[in-house]
Structure 1
Amino acid sequence: MLIFWSADIPKPSATQTVAVTLKQSKYQPQSVNALNFSVPNIQAGAIALTVPNIDAALKTMLDVEHFIVELGGRAVADIEWTGGLAARAKLSQCVSQR
């Protein structure tokens, strides 16, 4: 599961399914269903996306990553990071021991 937190993401009183568009670095935008939820005492709302499996997640991890999550036609999360290959190596090592 991939979870995005942002003050621009709605904070529903109960978890709900929402349609979002995920834009990810070099990949085509994808329209998917996601879970929108909130946690008490956290100022940001959350959008959770399912990942088919850990192998799929590892395969698509890039060293420099940029995600935009759109809800209702507007960006509610815009995040990027570096060091994805090092994170992928650590995650791969971790899951190989299961």
Structure 2
Amino acid sequence: MAEDARSNRYLSLLERQRIATLRRDGLGVRAIAAQLGRAPSTISRELRRNRLAHDAGYDGDLAHSRARDRAHRPRRGRLFTDHELRALVQAKT
């Protein structure tokens, strides 16, 4: 999905890169959140979820790549897999 087409609900690549820079500069979670206009819990969760192995830091580009991979889980639709539900929906139309 194109970066500009994504909702503000998700962190952008630029925001993740800024988190990495601000974290490297020694800012805390609340200070980073204030600068980005995000909730501290969002920043904390992002850092925890995408921290590199052995607390080596946070890489915004890698974190964004991982987030995009998680967002594109291949899933079949519920109506495709649940034949009983599909029959019920088709009967209503």
Greater strand share, structure number: 1
Higher RCO structure, 1 or 2 (CA under 8 Å, sep 6+): 1
Provide TM-score, normalisation by structure 1.
0.24
Provide TM-score, normalisation by structure 2.
0.24
Greater helix share, structure number: 2
